[in-house]
Amino acid sequence: MKEHKIRAIVWGCGQMGQIIIRYLQEKGVELVGAIDRNASRVGKDAGEISTLKRFLGIPIYHPDKAEQVFQKANANVCIICTRSLLTEIYDSLEMAAQHGVNAITLGEEAFYPWTTSRDLSEKLDTLAKKHNCTITGSGYQDVFGGHLITSVAAASHRIDRIQILTRYNIAQYGSFALDLNGVGLSVDAFKQTIATSKEPFVNWYVNEWLCSRLGWSIRTQNQELLPTTNTEIIHVTSAGIDIPVGDVTGMEAVVTTETEEGPIIESHLMGKVYTHSDIDIYECTLIGEPNTTLTIRQPGTPEITCASLVNRLPQLIDAPPGFQTTDKMPSPNYWTLPLHNS
Ligand code: NAP
């Protein structure tokens, strides 16, 4: 049991950051700083704009003032919910490490960055070790793309193939996510731009994480980006647009990994703007002996994302210094007590 509350800075107070701020309060974590670059948020109280809807006396500062926020906050954790790629979140991870503050991010690449951004990951690893703190990536994939699957794998005698299907409503995330998934493009424009992108998509890192945790070596890994369309006009409230019939409502990223040991991992991640009948889906099938399918009907994807990160905080603080991806950490936990007592 630790004497002092965990003291957290939240860097990125958008859709996810606003849920996380409430979860921190409800788990006994003290918010001691908030940073965001969006002009509509800078200067506002972080508690008031969050889903807590309560004044916390913590103003949101522009990243230009991040140095001052760190100096004043005496934080032991920084939670980064801004962007997905290591190049995009590097500065924030670097600043946290330079102040000896443990950092955890929703940035999807940080879940397993060792092949796609090896140099940056090693640089951060060295910096974190020098300043005796830990960096990691968490979020939805920590449990649903990782530990849930490896737990089911532990009940298998032989695995030939792992198939994962996740579908989520892209409109529940920031507007950049709509652009990333090609929402509103014609199918032709999608094929000429997004589909030809060589940038690994989110499930790329999930497949690599699974191979690392299961002790498999990757022989080949391929990605296909496919548009999703609809037969009715869809209004996207957050972006104020109507998507005409036949235009792109999102995409399905399919990443297939062949391993030296034989098993194949095939992950499908579909982010699209929903019609009234769409629901979130999670399904994972392990084919081998036995065949096992795990289906979770209508998972609360944003809440799962934020709870997975917040529940990682005690293990982040206790982890050895360096960039420690969660494949090297203990299985995630649900904590009943305030997090500093866990
Ligand atoms: P969001 O609503 O757009 O919130 C992000 C906020 O961070 C925005 O206010 C944005 O400002 C701000 N921001 C961006 N770069 C910044 C920087 N360098 N310094 C300070 N503020 C910055 O997005 P979200 O839905 O919360 O998602 C946040 C990130 O988490 C995304 O990369 C998303 O892909 C990722 N994510 C991961 C998971 C997971 O399970 N791992 C799940 C959901 C989301 P602007 O609006 O001005 O850009």
Nearest CA to ligand 1 atom 11: 38
Q: Kind of pairing, strands 234-236 and 281-289?
A: unpaired
Percentage of residues in the chain having pLDDT higher than 90: 89
- The backbone torsions φ and ψ at residue 303, rounded to the nearest 5 degrees and listed phi first, read -65, -40
- For ligand 1, atom 46, name the residue with the nearest CA: 38
pTM listed for this prediction: 0.95
Report the atom number in ligand 1 closest to the C-alpha of 84.
32
Index of the ligand 1 atom closest to the CA of residue 12 = 7
Ligand 1 nearest-atom number relative to CA 88: 18
Which residue lies with its CA nearest to atom 23 of ligand 1? 174
Distance (angstroms) between ligand 1 centre and the Cα of 81 equals: 5
Phi/psi region, residue 83 (left: phi>0; alpha: psi -120 to 50; beta: rest), is beta
> pLDDT for 186-202, tens place per residue?
999 999 999 999 899 99
Pocket test for ligand 1, best of 173, 175, 238 (most atoms within 8 A of CB): 173
Measured CA to CA, the distance from residue 84 to residue 107 in angstroms comes to 4
Ligand 1 centre distance from Cα of residue 104 (Å):
13
Residue 196 tokens read as 């030809």
Instruction: For residues 192 and 187, give the distance between their C-alpha atoms in angstroms, rounded to a whole number.
Output: 9
pLDDT at 238: 79
Secondary structure of the chain in HEC code, one letter for each residue: CCCCCCEEEEECCCHHHHHHHHHHHHCCCEEEEEECCCCCCCCCEHHHHCCCCCCCCCEEECHHHHHHHHHHHCCCEEEECCCCCHHHHHHHHHHHHHCCCEEEECCHHHHCCCCCCHHHHHHHHHHHHHCCCEEEECCHHHHHHHHHHHHHHCCCCEEEEEEEEEEEEHHHCCHHHHHHCCCCCCHHHHHHCHHHCCCCCHHHHHHHHHHHHHCCCEEEEEEEEEEEECCCCEEECCCCEEECCCCEEEEEEEEEEEECCCCEEEEEEEEECCCCCCCCEEEEEEEEECCEEEEEECCCHHHHHHHHHHHCHHHHHHCCCEECCHHHCCCCCCCCCCHHHC
Integer Cα distance of 133 and 230 in angstroms: 47
224 bridge partner residues: 254
Please report the atom of ligand 1 found closest to the CA of residue 35: 20
pLDDT digits (tens, 9 = 90+) for 78-93: 999 999 999 999 999 9
Largest CA distance in the chain: 59
- Which residues, judged by CB distance below 6 Å to any ligand atom, belong to the binding site of ligand 1? 12, 14-17, 35-38, 41, 63, 81-84, 106-108, 139-141, 173-174, 176-177, 305
The list of the chain residues with pLDDT below 70 reads 1-2
Q: State residue 239's pLDDT score.
A: 80
> Tell me, what's the pLDDT at 134?
98
Q: In the prediction, which pLDDT does 1 show?
A: 58
* 14 Cα nearest atom in ligand 1: 4
Percent of the chain exceeding pLDDT 70 equals 99
CB 42 within 8 A of CB 67: no
The domains of the chain, with CATH numbers, are 7-138+312-341 (3.40.50.720), 141-299 (3.30.360)
Cis peptide before 200 (omega within 30 of 0): no
pLDDT of 273? 94
- Strand-pair category, 241-243 with 234-236: antiparallel
Closest residue CA from atom 9 of ligand 1: 14
Per-residue pLDDT of 205-238, as tens digits, reads: 999 999 999 999 999 999 999 999 998 899 888 7
Q: Which of 13, 70, 106, 167 to mutate to test the pocket of ligand 1 (most atoms within 8 A of CB)?
A: 106
Q: How far separated are the first and last CA of the chain, in Å rounded?
A: 6
User: Which atom of ligand 1 lies at the shortest distance from residue 141's CA?
Assistant: 40
- Contact (CB, 8 A) for 320 and 134: yes
| Ligand 1 atom 42: residue of nearest CA | 305
**How many C-beta atoms lie closer than 10 Å to residue 320's C-beta?**
11
Mutation probe of ligand 1 site: the residue of 61, 81, 267 with most atoms within 8 A of C-beta: 81
Name which residue sits closest to atom 25 of ligand 1, judged by CA: 173
